[in-house]
Each structure stands twice: as C-alpha cells, then as structure tokens.
Amino acid sequence: MNTAPDSVDQNGLTDAVGAFFTFGPGGTMGIYVLTVLGILLLAGALVAWVHTENRRLLEFASQHPQSSGGTMTSQHPQSSGGTMTGSEV
C-alpha cells in the first residue's frame, strides 16, 4: 500500500537518494580510497594482533618460569604431529 502523499515525487526521491550514497556510487574515487583504507585496516589489525599477542605471551612466560621447572625455553618444541613420539609431549 502506497501511503505517500500525492505531492511526493517517488521517482525524484529515488534518483536523489541513489545519487547520494556516502562517497558516491561504485567505481568512484571515494570508493577506491575507502576500499584501500579498509584493506589496510584489516592487514594492520592482523599484524598488530601478532605483535601484541607475542609480547603478551612471552612476558607471561618469562614471569612464570616455575611452571616449567625453570629449565624450559619459552617456545614449545613443535612436533610434526603425525610422527610424534611420547617423548615429544
């Protein structure tokens, strides 16, 4: 059911809204810039995740050496899984 007053130009409204979208419709400089910025944010977040987590984990490991009897290195000697022997756990 169309409840718009008769005086409202629906087609005109559609055109006006369609022309607005933030930074314009697709394929414009504004959208290119936004896309690049979005990709940079994602990549930056992943790199930052690696760095901050690495720092936090190593800090925790250095503060809890007693957990491993004080003779461990902070990194686990990672195995190849499929060829794991009991001595590697």
Partner 1 sequence: MDTETLNTMVTMDSKVLAEQFYFFTVAIMWLIHAGFMAYEAGIARRKNVMATALKNILTIAVVTPAFYFFGWVIYGCFQRGFMPTDPWGDSAEAVFCASTIPWGDYMGPNLADNLTGVFWAAFLLFSWTTGSILSGAVIERIRLSAYLILTVVLGSIVWILDAAWGWSAGGWLVTDFGFHDAIASGVVHGVAGIFALGVLLQLGPRLGRYDIKGQMRRFIPHNLHMTLLGLMLIFTGFYGFYAACLVITSTAFPGWLNIYLNPTTLSAITFTITVGFAGGFIGGYFASRGDPFWTVSGGLAGVISVSAGADIYHPSLAFLLSAGTAALVVYVGGLIERKLRIDDAVGAVAVHGVAGFLGLLWVGIFAAGYPTGVNNIPSSLEGQLIGILAFFPLAFLPGYIIAWVLKKMNLLRVPVEVEIAGLDKAEFGQDFYPEYASAQEQVIDSDGTPVNADAITRQAIKELVR
Residues forming the site for partner 1 (CB under 8 A): 14, 17-18, 21, 25-27, 31-32, 35, 38-39, 41-42, 45-46, 49-50, 53-54, 56-58, 60-61, 64-65, 67-69, 71-82, 84-89
Measured distance CA(35)–CA(47) in Å, rounded: 19
Looking at the Cβ atoms of 9 and 67, the one nearer to partner 1 is 67
Least distance (Å) between residue 6 CB and partner 1: 17
Measured distance CA(7)–CA(82) in Å, rounded: 74
Dihedral of alpha carbons 45, 48, 54, 60, sign:
negative
Measured distance CA(21)–CA(34) in Å, rounded: 13
Least distance (Å) between residue 75 CB and partner 1: 5
Looking at the Cβ atoms of 4 and 17, the one nearer to partner 1 is 17
Least distance (Å) between residue 64 CB and partner 1: 5
Query: For the chain, what's the residue count?
Result: 89
